[in-house]
Structure 1
């Protein structure tokens, strides 16, 4: 896989770089009413059209359906608002839609899909100033507290909230001794200080601002990211909704209290330096492992500087998290997995570890997607060409306002793509440059062995690939039947150099271990 622009200007939007080291995959993103799935050449493989901009997050399901959030007007007029959810099939038909959007609540930012087909959504819930003061608030304003809803999709645009967790049930405050939740904040790190304010912020209604959610199926735990607390929290999903309102019950015996928190000890009047600031996309790296590390996109690592950070939480053998003698959570040492002088996004953004251990990063503020390998080399790079207000940009122009909350890559063998035509058609941008970029296709077991060429005729080189993951032997013969060379290829592809051979007709023969054979004629001019 490579990008070769033949004698033309360099691109300003869309695909900027695609090396043979890039992970074979498809990329999903949206920042306006259209959602795009592109291949590694930046060509549109599928596109879904909605009446709404995304309420930030969207995901492909295993059956090829697209589940996306929808940004709707409502009572919570702030960045990150959603309010609706939509389910489209692969063909683009709207199958289901549902709103969590009224005077007292609104879905926002992120959601994640559970193994049982339900999904977990972040929801703002309004509390009046009077309600807040009864809980010990020192603010004289209404507050937007946070909740997590587990949503089951039902027919006829209906849904059932089968489980929920509300932050309002897990507060502590040291402001009003006559109000609820009064106590020494540092004695209750498993609870959230109702009166904590991030440095530089005022008495804002949106005082927590969760922006990410992820799920660990083995531990049955949920990870949450709070931008304004600059913290990552973990809660227990094994509880009943009733237990989630309390401080006991569930697999870990703590009800809905925080099982773990990390990033900013000042939020619970602890000691130590802050590790994160305004981070996004907190998640487990390997959610199948009981001791999985965690990763975030840390937006404000320093002045005009972002970083990707990874750390190992202090797990105990039963899935709980270690505490010290004073009852404080044991700290960890976060490692910087990527940073660069030019790398900065003060808001939005995402990170994903790919199956080959590469990192796929979305620098949200400038719509810049890139993949890095273990040597921190950029092996794939793409600039979102879409302006939410004006649609795709013209190649060669400068795109503005292309902010993108997140982008996700899906492997060629993802179940969503089974039996589907995954051929890329046109790029997202207008008036694209010609290129010789080639992207491999998923292997379909029932298809015969196939040998695919990036272009034909050729002048010097060609990219070849098979539709099978296993290696097959490739032989090249000249017009007289003389064997010129032998190579080995699979679905990842390989570049062949014909610069030393004269113009003419060549025969490429591919044979796998089962004796299947595919033959292609190649013309060099």
Structure 2
């Protein structure tokens, strides 16, 4: 446990903050609860799982142990429940029956791109495993998103390997340097990336409680250049480094809508959201980057975004009004990297609400991240890069703010300095106090994650008189 040794050290982080109307984001600064405006938030409990080391495919080693805990905290940052696991995780969700559904990173992944996990497990409130499903073999790996359906089935995203020859047979350009026959690295891949052969398109598996596949959808079955197809020769430029690898379509979230019997999925690398009709298996709507299917202008040159709207986006969600939300990371946007939260009306293709602060990088996250619209109209935003969670109102005021104090080493810290600790969170979720999972549960506060640290939410409200000096001479 690392704590501050003086009030002067505590005050050190104050200069790093922006006004409460904006979202705090800094490489260095206080960790834990930063602000809480009672009466303006959606009161409840926030669930999060600290991330494993970003970009690493090493699991459970001394160098990269990863946190093996899942935490539920109250609005004041107190722990009210924890789950302890055998393996590190990608993220977890709480089910209405009180169980926890958790994506777990297991050894033996055939790929190294970010987002793989391999094993999905369901835990009871007291930590017993009651269901699991594994997809991890030389040609398949579960990754990123999952969704528990009302009928008890579970939708899971997977990558599936297609060889160099299979890709050529589907029409992939043999001169494309991002396509590899022998597993050598394509241009733009970093030195930490293991060689991969062929390409790895996405698929959805809908699995029953007994582990049977009830429904499936494969990008590979929908190759083409039409508005309801995926162009096998479209990918981001190699100049964008790790984006143009065998990880070709890179879907990162999947959500089922029981009202319409449709799936919404999000492709980071195509910069698009798709709606897939479950009965017809057709892509019935796509949004974000019309250039992928010949319907708009691609970005070109400095400051020219073309007709592309989504850049590196994550976490597509259905909203009760039929709209869709997304965290638009803004990664590699020609006009400048900046993140935003968007609500989109699929009927009109209009962005009907968007949050981005005046400072383009105030909560910028070049990877992962999420946005959850809460029942009172507020939004809970996860900015992964700095493990930063905040709640913002429809009129764009920050009313709750929390920065994860748990590092990949499993220890708690008071202050982040020089990018230490590594405190990323993939996604967090807020559940109201009336959420069915909490019925009859003991949610008594058990103290802070980083015990002994200053109460930042109190210190950051302190407004000293002119000339005040906290250091006594």
* TM-score, structure 2 normalization: 0.76
User: Quick check: 2:158–2:205 contact (8 Å CA) kept in 1?
Assistant: yes
2:309 paired residue among 267, 275, 279 = 275
1:26 paired residue among 42, 45, 62 = 45
Change (3 A) 1:436 1:383: closer
Could you tell me which residue of structure 2 aligns to residue 433 of structure 1? 454
1:164 paired residue among 216, 233, 243 = 216
If each structure's strand is expressed as a fraction of its own residues, which one has the higher value? 1
Structure 1 gaps, min length 5? 1-6, 173-184, 240-254, 315-330, 438-525
Describe how 1:107-506 pairs up with structure 2 within 5 A: 107-139=142-174, 140-141=179-180, 142-154=198-210, 159-172=211-224, 185=225, 188-199=226-237, 200-201=239-240, 204-237=245-278, 239=279, 255-272=280-297, 273-286=307-320, 289=321, 292-300=322-330, 302-314=335-347, 332-340=349-357, 341=359, 342-388=362-408, 390-396=409-415, 398=417, 399-433=420-454
CA deviation profile, 1:317-361 (whole Å, cap 9, x unmatched): xxxxxxxxxxxxxx7232452101112111110001101000110
**CA–CA separation in structure 2 for the residues paired with 1:344 and 1:146:** 26
**CA–CA separation in structure 2 for the residues paired with 1:417 and 1:396:** 32
Change (3 A) 1:435 1:132: closer
Could you tell me which residue of structure 2 aligns to residue 90 of structure 1? 125
SS of the counterpart of 1:386?
A: coil
2:96 paired residue among 62, 85, 88 = 62
**CA–CA separation in structure 2 for the residues paired with 1:57 and 1:151:** 19
**CA–CA separation in structure 1 for the residues paired with 2:232 and 2:99:** 40
User: Quick check: 2:323–2:346 contact (8 Å CA) kept in 1?
Assistant: yes
Structure 2 gaps, min length 5? 1-6, 14-29, 51-66, 181-197, 298-306, 459-473
* TM-score, structure 1 normalization: 0.68
Which one scores higher on RCO, CA 8 angstroms, separation ≥ 6?
2
**Of the two, which has the highest radius of gyration?**
1
Report the number of matched residues: 375
User: Quick check: 2:345–2:352 contact (8 Å CA) kept in 1?
Assistant: no
**CA–CA separation in structure 1 for the residues paired with 2:410 and 2:317:** 31
Could you tell me which residue of structure 2 aligns to residue 51 of structure 1? 86
**CA–CA separation in structure 2 for the residues paired with 1:222 and 1:96:** 23
Could you tell me which residue of structure 1 aligns to residue 112 of structure 2? 77
**CA–CA separation in structure 1 for the residues paired with 2:452 and 2:152:** 40
User: Quick check: 1:57–1:111 contact (8 Å CA) kept in 2?
Assistant: no
Change (3 A) 1:360 1:436: closer
**CA–CA separation in structure 1 for the residues paired with 2:431 and 2:368:** 20
- Distance apart, 1:201 and its partner CA: 4.6
User: Quick check: 1:83–1:106 contact (8 Å CA) kept in 2?
Assistant: yes
SS of the counterpart of 1:413?
A: coil
**CA–CA separation in structure 2 for the residues paired with 1:218 and 1:355:** 18
Could you tell me which residue of structure 2 aligns to residue 490 of structure 1? none
SS of the counterpart of 1:297?
A: strand
**CA–CA separation in structure 2 for the residues paired with 1:198 and 1:190:** 19
- Distance apart, 1:392 and its partner CA: 3.1
